[in-house]
Structure 1
Amino acid sequence: MSVRAEWDEAVRRLLVGAHRGGVAPAALLDDCAALGVAAFGAALPVAVDAAELAVAPRTDERTVGEAARDVFAQIVAVDDQVLLTEWCGKARAAGQVAGHRSLPELLALGTTHPGLRSAVAAVLGSRGRWLAGTRPGWAWATGVGVSADLVDLDEVLDLPSSRRLSALRRSRRSDPAGTRAFLAGQFAVQRRAADRQVLVSALETGLCADDEPLLETALDDRAVGVHDEALRLLRALPESALAERAAERLHRGLWLTADGFDVQSDELWAEALTSPEEFRDLLKDGSESGVAGRLRAAAASVAPTHWTNRLSTDDEGAAAVLSRGPWATALLRGVVQRLLRAVDASPWAVAATRTLTGMEQLEMLASLPAELSARTVIAVSHQWNYDLLDHACSQLPAPWSAWSTAALLDRYAEMRDPRWRAGRPPAVLLARGDAEVLGASWARITERWPEHSVELDVLRLRMRLTQAFDRKEPVL
């Protein structure tokens, strides 16, 4: 009879009574005591053969102070990922790591929000990495994920498509030349266009002049995706045969007038149909059709130094000339793609921002380095409305520099608020601007935008964050 059956029998005897059931009362009570525990008590844990956890390493790393831990708790409470990233950056800059009690929460946040992982990993310290090794889900923070994820090149094309490209790029970082040879060999035999496109895309990691022959071969691929990906990477090379071909077309097809560059009436861009040689150097997605598209393609294939050398001037002078011509929009759209190759990118960025509109303008600003993007917005936003300035500022990476914060605060303050935000401070300014500059301007901000809002609470928390690491008096 099972334990459960014996328990049920004992319960029936209790209901009938010991005397009626012919059982001694003491024996019945003993059965109830023993069988009740056996039937409903917790089972003993099963013994397993598992290695004990290693002892946490001793470390002399400096942990954040009490004020910083208090700010961390508040940031976690409001679930603000931007503030958490800023907290991690401040701790790293101060040479400190997170407190031991904060480590499980940081690991959990990094696990559920992959975008936070690089910031979180920087402040875990040796104890945090030790703790990450105790759970498979935290393996990303152990510091050995990259080497553990390396895959044999002979097996990489058998991986799921979502992992194939990342595996090839990891291999490029560890062995550029060997991976290049593998990619070239596989490109010649792969029949699926999607597979060939992945092989070409992998060259973006560690892209150099040695990759040019394979990319030139890919330009002759009939698949649109393969051709366009190869062309995009060729345009990113500082010097290439593509750049030489584009420079020759620009010299031959454009001439300088008093109003800027114009198309030669008897040259290649005067013809509606493109030659096979030029067509090979154009994107096949339809964005580089017509004269304007062909001009844009040629300008995107040369560095801005092409224009400064041709005009014998600096970047500011060359940008001014290109901005005047009838084809200014097409040419500047091309120059934007090679902007970071300029000696001084600022004049080009300003000229392009004044020429581009809508999402193309915002995407260009987002692609620039933080300080250059901020200076560009400040330079061209005099005639902008609030919404356009707010959209542009939302593209600027945080945190902003002190100079950019002060200038953008002035720009916002002199604008009229939209009716739906009257009296409320700009959220992007208070969330991304330099906390010290904004803290010093607290009186001005609250006077200009008197409506109490959550944005002011965020700024107050950011000020406490800055002061926690600078050892200043806390904000009340």
Structure 2
Amino acid sequence: MSANLADAGGDWIKPALVGIDGARAPAFPAPVGELLEQVDGDDALARYARGAAAMAACRLAAVEVAPAAAEPPPAAPDDARMIGEGEPLAPALAAIFRGDSERLHHEACQRLAALGRALPAAALASALDAGRQRARLRPALLPVLGERGLWLARLNPDWRYADRGAAGAGENVVGEGAAGEGEPADSAAEVARLWQEGSFEQRLALFARVRAAEPTRAREMLQAQLGELPAKERAAFVAEFDAGLGADDEALLAGLLKDRGREVRRLAASLLARLPQSAHAQRLAAWLAPLVTQERVLLVKRWTLDAPQAADPEWAAAAIDAARPQNDALGERAWWLYQLARQMPLRWWCERTGMDPAALLAWAGKSDWKQALYRGWIERIHRDDGDWVQAMLDAPGRAFGEHHGELLALLPPAQRVRHWPRSFAELCRSGRLDEVLGSCAPGQWLPLDYSRLVGEGLQQAGDTLRQDWSLRQNAQTLLEALHPQALHGWQAPPRAPDDTPALADCLAGLERTAQLRRLLHA
């Protein structure tokens, strides 16, 4: 949408708020106004409705409808990668992006990237809107917009996130070393330009790539700009220190313990705690160790746990909140213990007691401080804590049941299957559909064997779909999460004459989704 059209917006929108009549008929900018003059027989209300509809369509399409002082944009460049409108994949991609399924959007982008192709023209506007609405789609979307998509994005401020800088910051931008040591000078210049001029999403994606390849360089880039960033952006950049975390990061992270942003302080403290030799980790150990002690009962030694008797004045400098929120379920001392436990890496508990994660969970479960420990431990869990993840998933009574989805997501897909229901009927009865789907992020599929098991069950689930409202609500997402190879020959359950319109729509939607996904992977 141009500046001229934006300025004209108030002239044709405001009259609708006070009423439309002949005396107050708004003037529409050319050529919309000229076209309206050619329509005979309209009263003031009909004329306004026609004009407003035309302006709204122009606004969505980013069309210039008023004379512009600037030269018109250059024509869209040719792009050999773009899917042609005559190719079978083009209508499937257009249909996918007209829909609102985040899983299908990710899958389409990943498939195009694997094929080395770009989105067809008919899908670009919808795809750019999808990226505007969902920031986490952008890393997958930007590489497949192609030249036409980047050209179109420049014509609409709502799509500014997708300008040339985003696509230009690919793998080739970050070299093997500093400029002059294996990295082309133009790559160094492009990194510097994007770091200074890019949008937040572009700069964060660039920072993540630099951090993965050159942690020291990334740290220096961020340190130079920390004072200029809002708290939300500081937190996002600090979270990327998880990759390549090392002792050299301590000085920067220690300074962030005094940051104005609560989330920044929390992230910095969590990262510092993972550096055993850091001053912060040493302070945490000094506060926790006296609370986890051994006592002798007859001939047996056993570990005991206590909570702090009082808040330490130095906790504030370690991003530990001593003040318990009034509505929190934990008591004051339990709150203090939870605050310490949520920062200390889980491996410390094993090293301190000699117990494995399963034994520690059982030990904590018998303690007066169970809730404080369980809550702190589930917040402390990290992708490197695979043994703790397995122990929490296997805990008796599904003690961590409400967190199973996020715990499963920390495991490789092949290791998740043993924790899932072993038949489609059991999956429906257990009410664990959300858990299974929640462990499978957009862009991921269920393992092939499990996909076949679920797909066969869903194909024969006509009666269940008629009776189980929960399955009906999740059936579409379940089908989208199946491995593509499990869709060969798949058909939706047959319809019955007495099916409700809602069920008929559900079954038709399943058939359409299966067909689109088959076309995508043909």
Read off the aligned partner of 1:83 and give its amino acid letter. Answer: L
Say whether 1:212 aligns with 2:240. no
Q: How many residues align?
A: 401
Give runs of aligned pairs for residues 239-250 of structure 1, distance below 5 A: 239=275, 240-250=278-288
Q: 1:128 aligns with which of 149, 157, 171?
A: 149
Write the deviation string for residues 116-164 of structure 1: whole angstroms up to 9, x where unpaired.
4444323222343344445555443333157766448xxx9xxxxxx9x
Q: What CA deviation, in whole Å up to 9, does each residue of 1:408-441 have, x standing for no partner?
A: 6799999988966288474242343335436667
- Residue by residue over 1:375-417, the C-alpha shift from the partner in whole angstroms, topping out at 9 and shown as x without a partner, is 5862799999858524434533234323454566799999988
SS at match of 1:341: coil
Residue 163 (structure 2) aligned to one of 142, 149, 152: 142
Instruction: Tell me which residue corresponds to 2:398.
Output: 354
Label 1:125 to 1:200 Cα distance change in 2 as closer, same or farther (>3 A). closer
Task: State the Cα distance separating 1:169 from its structure 2 match.
Answer: 5.8
1:103 is aligned to: 124
Identical columns (%): 19
* Other-structure match for 1:332: 374
What is the match of residue 23 of structure 1?
none
Any idea what the Cα deviations from partners look like across 1:321-370, whole Å, max 9, x if unmatched? 55565544432322222332315453144157932465xx3784597468
Question: Equivalences for 1:19-418 in 2 at 5 Å?
Answer: 50=71, 53=74, 56-57=77-78, 59=80, 66-76=87-97, 78-111=99-132, 114=135, 116-145=137-166, 150-151=195-196, 176-179=218-221, 181-182=223-224, 186=227, 202-206=237-241, 208=245, 209-217=247-255, 219=257, 225-226=261-262, 229-237=264-272, 238-239=274-275, 240-255=278-293, 263-264=304-305, 269=306, 272-277=309-314, 281=318, 282-284=320-322, 286=324, 290-310=332-352, 312=354, 315=357, 322=364, 325-336=367-378, 337-351=380-394, 354-356=398-400, 361=403, 364-365=406-407, 368=410, 371=413, 375=417, 378=420, 388-393=431-436, 395-396=438-439, 397-398=441-442, 399-401=444-446, 402-405=448-451
> Structure 1's 470 and 409: CA in aligned 2 closer, same or farther, altered over 3 A?
closer
Distance 1:306 1:57, change over 3 A: same
Q: Which amino acid aligns with 2:281?
A: A
2:518 counterpart of 1:467: yes
- Check whether the contact 2:389–2:410 (CA below 8 A) recurs between aligned residues: no
Cα distance in structure 2, aligned partners of 1:142 and 1:316:
50
Q: Offset of 1:210 from its aligned partner?
A: 3.9
State whether residues 84 and 120 of structure 2, in contact with CA within 8 Å, keep that contact through their aligned partners in structure 1.
yes
**TM-score, normalised to structure 1's length?**
0.62
Match of 1:421 in 2: 469
Say if 2:487 and 2:518, in contact at 8 Å, map to a contact too.
no
Which residue of structure 2 lines up, in the alignment, with residue 8 of structure 1?
none
Alpha-carbon deviations, 1:233-257, whole Å to 9, x = none? 2213421333333334444322468
CA distance in 2, matches of 1:142, 1:121: 9
Q: Return the alpha-carbon distance in structure 2 between the equivalents of residues 104 and 424 of structure 1.
A: 31
Contact kept in structure 1, 2:153 and 2:162, CA below 8 Å: yes
TM-score (norm 2): 0.58
Mind listing any 5+ residue stretches in structure 1 that lack a counterpart?
Answer: 1-36, 157-162, 188-193, 472-476
Bigger CA radius of gyration: 1
Letter aligned with residue 298 of structure 1: L
Q: What is the rounded CA distance, in whole Å, between the counterparts of 2:304 and 2:280 in structure 1?
A: 21
- Give me the whole-angstrom Cα distance separating, in 2, the residues matched to 1:195 and 1:87: 34
In the alignment, the residues of structure 2 paired with residue 74 and residue 168 of structure 1 have an alpha-carbon distance, to the nearest angstrom, of 31
Residues 51-104 of structure 1, C-alpha deviations (whole Å, 9 max, x = no match) = 761562453666698332232343355554443332222222333322344334
Corresponding residue to 1:457 among 500, 508, 522: 508
SS in 1 for 2:238: helix
Counterpart of 2:49 in structure 1 is none
Q: Which runs of 5+ in 2 are unaligned?
A: 1-33, 39-65, 170-190, 211-216
The one-letter code of the counterpart of 2:269 is L
The CA distance in 2 between the partners of 1:142 and 1:220, in whole Å, is 36
- In structure 1, distance between residues paired with 2:393 and 2:301: 17
1:72–1:342 Cα change, 3 Å: same
| Cα distance in 1 between the residues matched to 2:311 and 2:422 | 36
Q: Which amino acid aligns with 1:354?
A: R
Q: Write the distance in 2 (CA, Å) between the matches of 1:465 and 1:262.
A: 58
Match of 2:57 in 1: none
Give CA deviations for 1:423-465 in whole Å, capped at 9, x if unaligned: 847424234333543666758x669xx9654343333233223
